[in-house]
Amino acid sequence: MTNIILCGGSGTRLWPISRTLMPKQFVKLFDNKSLFQLTVERNNTLCDSQFIISNAEQYFLALDQLEEMNEDSNKYLLEPIGRNTAPAIALACLSLDYDEIVLVSPSDHLIKDEDEYKKVLVKAKQLALENNLVTFGITPSFAETGFGYIEADGLDAKAFHEKPDKETAQKYVDAGNYYWNSGMFCFKAGVFLDELLKYSPDILETSKKALENTKKAEIIRIHHEDMINIPEESIDYAVMEKSNIVKVIPSNIKWSDVGSFDALYEELPKDNNGNTKNEKYIGINSSNNLIYGQERVITTVDIEDLVIVDTTDALLISKKGSSQKVKQIVNEVKKTTNLHQIHLTGYRPWGTYTVLEDTPGYKIKRIEVKPGKRLSLQKHYHRNEHWIVVSGTATVTVGDSVKLVRPNESTYIKMGEVHRLSNEGKIPVILIEAQVGEYTGEDDIVRLEDDFKRK
């Protein structure tokens, strides 16, 4: 059985913790592990292999976190843009044998009852072997309006229902045969493709063409123009709501999609006053608050039922119960800044950079390059750069010149000069970069050559 792990996500519902380039599945929220890592751990003993579907920008986050786990035998399919779940799953299934059983799992869900999960998976696999499309219906514990529902007749999926209002959700819960739609599936790759051909042939045909235009390798990279041509559709709309071979497995597995700060509050450990535990928090007469922050001390007096999320560059304060409106805040943030997209610390395949100061006319960064890695061969049209090495030994290419730059030594790159930074040593290279120019945005990079095939 192959575990198809879907790593898409825009990072808006848990902003400012989660950003477009660091979505919630890669944030280490639980005992210094990410939801992505927990998904891999949960399924790697139950599946023979893992097939990771990721945005090209997030592939390196997945790779880094898998390296931490000593997991390196995975297959990858990289999407230049997201087209929802139906194309992602179709592209993966087209890359597998017809009879291969696949378990499709989002990378950003939390499942706490793993013993029950294993039992549910055994049932799902058996139904999949009998040529059914299997979905996992979560036994609802309350009338949630943020999830879709599956109406069941025994094990048969009778109907899929959109997110209901509160009154309708309560009727679903009272009926006893409605389940939360988990977004997890199990089926033979070929059976899914057969149903896709019946109900959404345009998705299948454009996915085939996109796959035919790629190089056959462990990392499958879909071309941008091919991905654009695939209709954007969820697996529910494309197949599950139309097919007559869909089965639903009732699943009481302590599941959460951690889709809001209210949901996150329920999953985090709490102190005696119902506040989430945080070494940086001091509270007086305060209770039942979500407190998240890792840098500054957070103090509260006489407050309750609040969400307080503090990051290095943004602060969110919300009433509990209103955190679904964070998406609206993100839409406002987009109008004036790029704080929806990236933290002050950005993750790259070669290492990380942290913005220390960003002012019109100049920007200062701390850059860390992993051993054996190097940045792209590049140039800039709008800025000069000064590099001061503070740890390790950097190999610096500027034009035709290549030299070693050691701690407390520096180099200068003029605007327009072709340059590259490499770490050929055994320890990380850490340097301070000062950019000076009329524009210092991250998009002022012209890559001439890149080890990681970025444009």
d(CA 158, CA 41): 33
* DSSP secondary structure, 343-409, as one string: -SEEEETTEEEEEEEEETTEEEEEEEE-TT-BPPEEE-SSEEEEEEEEES-EEEEETTEEEEE-TT-
Looking at the chain, the domain(s) classified CATH 2.60.120.10 span 345-449
pLDDT tens digit string along 35-69?
999 999 999 989 999 999 998 878 888 988 998 89
Strands laid side by side in the 306-310 sheet? 290-293, 306-310, 315-319
Q: What pLDDT is stored for residue 453 in this prediction? A: 81
d(CA 191, CA 150): 21
Q: What pLDDT is stored for residue 260 in this prediction? A: 92
The structure tokens 């091919």 sit at: 226
Are 2 and 50 within 8 A, CB to CB? yes
CATH classification code of 2-256:
3.90.550.10
Q: What's domain 345-449's superfamily in CATH?
A: Jelly Rolls (2.60.120.10)
The structure tokens 């019946």 sit at: 198
Q: Is 125 exposed, middle or buried (0-12, 13-18, 19+ CB in 10 A)?
A: middle
Rg (CA), the chain: 24
Q: Is 165 exposed, middle or buried (0-12, 13-18, 19+ CB in 10 A)?
A: exposed
Q: What pLDDT is stored for residue 122 in this prediction? A: 96
* Residue 424 identity (one-letter amino acid): E
Strand segments, DSSP code E, in 171-305 are 178-188, 219-221, 246-251, 255-256, 281-284, 290-293, 298-301
Residue 422's contacts (CB-CB under 8 Å, 6 or more residues apart) are: 369, 373, 374, 375, 394, 395, 396, 397
Beta bridge partners of 270: 276
Give the chain's residues under pLDDT 50.
none
Q: What pLDDT is stored for residue 11 in this prediction? A: 67
Q: What pLDDT is stored for residue 102 in this prediction? A: 98
pLDDT tens digit string along 182-208?
999 999 999 999 999 999 999 999 999
Residue 305, phi-psi category: left (phi > 0), alpha (psi -120 to 50), beta (remainder): left
Find the helix or strand (DSSP H, E) in which 448 lies: strand 446-449
Q: What pLDDT is stored for residue 73 in this prediction? A: 67
What CA–CA distances, in Å, run from 22 to 19, 54, 82, 117, 203? 5, 12, 15, 28, 29
- Closest by CA to 110, choosing from 58, 46, 36, is 36
Looking at the chain, the domain(s) classified CATH 3.90.550.10 span 2-256
Are 353 and 429 within 8 A, CB to CB? no
